Amino acid sequence: MVAPGKGSSRVAARKVKDRWRAKNWYRVLAPDMFESIQIGETLSDNPDKLIGRVLDVTLQQMTGDFSKMHIKLIFKINSVKGSDAYSNFIGHSLTSDYIRRLTRRKRSKTDGVFDVKTKDNFKLRVKPMAVAEKRIQTSQQHSIRMNMNNTISECASDKLVSEFIRDMLSGELSSMIFKKCKHIYPIKRIEIRCSEILEIPEHGPEMVVPTKEENKDKETPVKVEAVQAPEDKAEIAEPVPETEGEEETKKKSKITKTKKEKDKSKTKKDTEKPENNSTTDKKAAENKLV
């Protein structure tokens, strides 16, 4: 006879195994601004359960650039089609060990938190960080924060959310802030330590940047026109008749050239004469001695 407790435990173990067998693997794809590359895989027995899941990926894993291994990108799954799960970018952050490496003794760190809006009405929260070589005054920190706020808001208002995120991750935004703040105090490093998307407009998260092929199609006709335009002008151009004023200036230039040449020849002759006289005097003195 089998005890009642042992039989129930075996049935429960079989049910757990059946749950794992029912689960399927799903590929997680990045948004279009990251060229829809695969950023990971996840398990689920129901595709509806995938929506809302969050995963972290380093920028080095996506681009292969080891200098970007300290940047963590955060994605959130928003839709599922077949075995593919599509995600949106919701923010990024720097690793804690990288921040500790920058901030050491006798160095002042200036943090800022700014809410900005992009050209396509996305609201983002950006948190920059400036590290000075030595300890600085509070008034200098205040002016650095003001410059940070101005540069970030100007850059966001002129660009789409996808372009702003690329500038933020590539380091262009931090270099712009560095140029504005270096006259206040010699700063060692400026980084965007954290960012997050707060609001998405009603038309949806259209974080799409034109692909390379589209950019080529747009740029090629402009380049061809710029190259062909001067060639056509050169073929059609006719010799322009010279005016009376231009003829007079040419004659005057010729006269001045001839005068300069005559003066040069006179100076050469004058220099040669004393040399000849000195040689004749030497010969006369020799003859007298003889």
Segment 120-130, tens digit of pLDDT: 999 999 999 99
Is 110 found in the same domain as 70? Answer: no
Reply yes or no on whether the pLDDT at 176 is more than 70: yes
Residue 107 lies in a domain: yes
Is 108 found in the same domain as 85? Answer: no
Is 101 found in the same domain as 85? Answer: no
User: What is residue 29's predicted lDDT score, i.e. its pLDDT?
Assistant: 94
Is 112 found in the same domain as 51? Answer: no
- Tokens representing 142 are 């205040």
End-of-domain residue from the set 211, 237, 259: 211
Is 88 found in the same domain as 115? Answer: no
Total domain count, the chain: 2
Is 180 found in the same domain as 122? Answer: yes
pTM, whole model, 2 decimals?
A: 0.62
Q: CA-to-CA distance for 195 and 126, rounded, in angstroms?
A: 5
Is 160 found in the same domain as 114? Answer: yes
Helix locations, 59-111, DSSP H = 59-63, 96-102
| Tens of pLDDT, residues 14-60 | 555 667 788 899 999 999 888 889 999 999 988 899 999 999 999 99
Reply yes or no on whether the pLDDT at 218 is more than 60: no
User: What is residue 252's predicted lDDT score, i.e. its pLDDT?
Assistant: 61
Boundaries of domain holding 176: 95-211
CATH number at 199 reads 3.30.479.30
End-of-domain residue from the set 187, 211, 235: 211
Write the DSSP string, 104-150.
Answer: -TT--EEE--EEEE-TTS-EEEEEEEEEESS---HHHHHHHHHHHHH
Is 135 found in the same domain as 170? Answer: yes
Is 158 found in the same domain as 137? Answer: yes
Residue 15 lies in a domain: no
User: What is residue 107's predicted lDDT score, i.e. its pLDDT?
Assistant: 87
Q: How far is CA 117 from CA 76, 150, 175, in A?
A: 21, 13, 20
Reply yes or no on whether the pLDDT at 3 is more than 60: no
Q: CA-to-CA distance for 269 and 257, rounded, in angstroms?
A: 19
Is 100 found in the same domain as 182? Answer: yes
* Residue found under tokens 């760190």: 109
End-of-domain residue from the set 43, 76, 92: 92
| Tens of pLDDT, residues 251-281 | 666 666 666 676 666 655 555 544 445 555 5
User: What is residue 105's predicted lDDT score, i.e. its pLDDT?
Assistant: 84
Is 172 found in the same domain as 122? Answer: yes
Average pLDDT of the chain? 77
Residue 74 lies in a domain: yes
How would residue 221 be classed by pLDDT, with cut points 50, 70 and 90? very low
Reply yes or no on whether the pLDDT at 212 is more than 70: no
How would residue 232 be classed by pLDDT, with cut points 50, 70 and 90? very low
How would residue 286 be classed by pLDDT, with cut points 50, 70 and 90? low
Is 205 found in the same domain as 104? Answer: yes
